[in-house]
């Protein structure tokens, strides 16, 4: 017997932005509006391969938009495994991420090829899509156990070597990576973790790309994982930005850590990021499978680090199991911007927003409570109740 699909509906949820900075207002009501929704489209690989740069980037960005907006739509299936705090926490984190600049936004693997090409005078519209896909794969292979900023330095070095020493005006291409000696490559990427092993993997991989993948990157997760040094996280992220294929969630250490902290996955069952990926994919709305990575990675880089958390700036500090209450007790926005040395991002806009909210919020004026609208597609009949109780 074939199980009929439940129809999806669009749900608009208003989430109150609250913080330990502000006097508490009553919990807001959740308004629900329904209308039809559409599934994520299936990309045409042959068509993508034939695209020029402008058309290619527009097509890929249609399903992997890196502009994080608090009102972006996502789909919630009728799934009892969805944590009761997911809508509340994720909506607030998305709002925060829309106002902070993080390393992943500029030198994360997806943006790094565009950023590096621009440094060498190659505009986005002049990057050959095949070169972008290769450079994306290389940046992902270098990124393991390496900060984005260090990864960017290594990619810059290789790009410079390919242009100046190998005479390739396009920089990192399949031809230049086939030509570069492994020792020379190792020297240029020695700032990243396990650089010698990664140099070997890259050299072996480009040969496989030439011989088995028609000189381009793979189009399936199985193809990516056939390359040495490439695991599921790299493969799924590469598929997303190379081919607009949303086949899985890219789970790195930040996504893994935050999902466990918020009890979105069972820490006892999820011993590795791969375990976390599989459990998240069992309930996370598919329309979030791309954006959840940059949203949580940037949040984990700048506001919720493993050490040195900024709980005093976080909207989730009233419901987060990992909150450090000592930080809330000493938080004083009006005494100056709480900026510390070594910050990896810029949250000036976010701090300004909090200050403005603090000035506008009064204990007896509910009308001044600030709400941010988050549109959610859902077939869940109890979203309203669960959101109010989360």
Catalytically annotated residues? 241
Q: At how many degrees (to 10) do helices 148-164 and 129-143 cross?
A: 130
Helix and strand numbers (H, E) in the chain are 18, 3
Element housing 16 (H / E):
strand 9-16
In sequence order, the 6+-apart residues with CB closer than 8 A to the CB of 178 are 206, 207, 210
- Look at residues 215, 150, 217, 216 and name the one whose alpha carbon lies nearest to residue 188: 150
Contact 248, 284 (CB under 8 A): no
Cα separations in angstroms, 175 against 49, 168, 169, 203: 18, 9, 11, 11
In sequence order, the 6+-apart residues with CB closer than 8 A to the CB of 298 are 68, 97, 100, 102, 103, 104, 105, 345
End-to-end alpha carbon distance in the chain: 36
Contact 195, 146 (CB under 8 A): no
Element housing 87 (H / E):
helix 86-97
């Amino acid at each position: 017997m074939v199980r009929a699909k439940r129809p999806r509906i669009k749900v608009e949820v208003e989430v109150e932005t609250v913080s330990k900075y502000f006097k508490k207002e009553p919990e807001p009501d959740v308004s629900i509006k329904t209308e039809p929704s559409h599934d994520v489209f299936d990309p045409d690989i042959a068509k993508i391969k034939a695209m020029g740069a402008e058309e290619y980037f527009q097509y890929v960005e249609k399903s992997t938009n890196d502009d994080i907006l608090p009102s972006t739509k996502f789909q919630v299936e009728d799934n009892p495994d969805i944590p009761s705090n997911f809508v509340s926490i994720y909506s607030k984190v998305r709002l925060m991420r829309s106002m902070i600049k993080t390393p992943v936004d500029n030198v994360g693997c997806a943006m790094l090829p565009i950023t590096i090409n621009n440094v060498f005078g190659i505009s986005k519209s002049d990057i050959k899509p095949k070169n972008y896909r290769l450079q994306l794969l290389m940046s992902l292979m270098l990124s393991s156990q390496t900060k984005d900023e260090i990864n960017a330095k290594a990619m810059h070095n290789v790009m410079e070597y390919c242009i100046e020493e190998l005479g390739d005006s396009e920089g990192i291409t399949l031809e230049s990576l086939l030509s570069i000696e492994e020792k020379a490559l190792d020297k240029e990427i020695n700032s990243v973790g396990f650089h010698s092993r990664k140099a070997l993997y890259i050299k072996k991989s480009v040969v496989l790309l030439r011989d088995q993948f028609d000189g381009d990157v793979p189009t399936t997760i199985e193809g990516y994982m056939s390359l040495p040094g490439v695991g599921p996280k790299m493969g799924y992220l590469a598929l997303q930005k190379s081919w607009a294929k949303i086949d899985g969630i890219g789970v790195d250490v930040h996504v893994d850590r935050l999902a466990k902290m918020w009890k979105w996955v069972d820490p006892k069952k999820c011993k590795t990021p791969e375990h976390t990926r599989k459990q998240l994919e069992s309930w996370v709305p598919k329309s979030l499978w791309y954006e959840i990575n940059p949203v949580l990675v940037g949040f984990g880089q700048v506001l919720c680090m493993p050490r040195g958390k900024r709980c005093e700036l976080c909207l989730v500090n009233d419901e987060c199991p990992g909150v450090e209450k000592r930080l809330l007790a000493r938080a004083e926005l009006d005494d100056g911007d709480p900026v510390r040395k070594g910050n990896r991002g810029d949250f000036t806009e976010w701090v300004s927003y909090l200050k403005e909210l603090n000035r506008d919020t009064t204990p007896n004026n509910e009308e001044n409570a600030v709400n941010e609208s988050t549109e959610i597609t859902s077939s869940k009949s109890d979203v309203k109740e669960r959101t109010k109780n989360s």
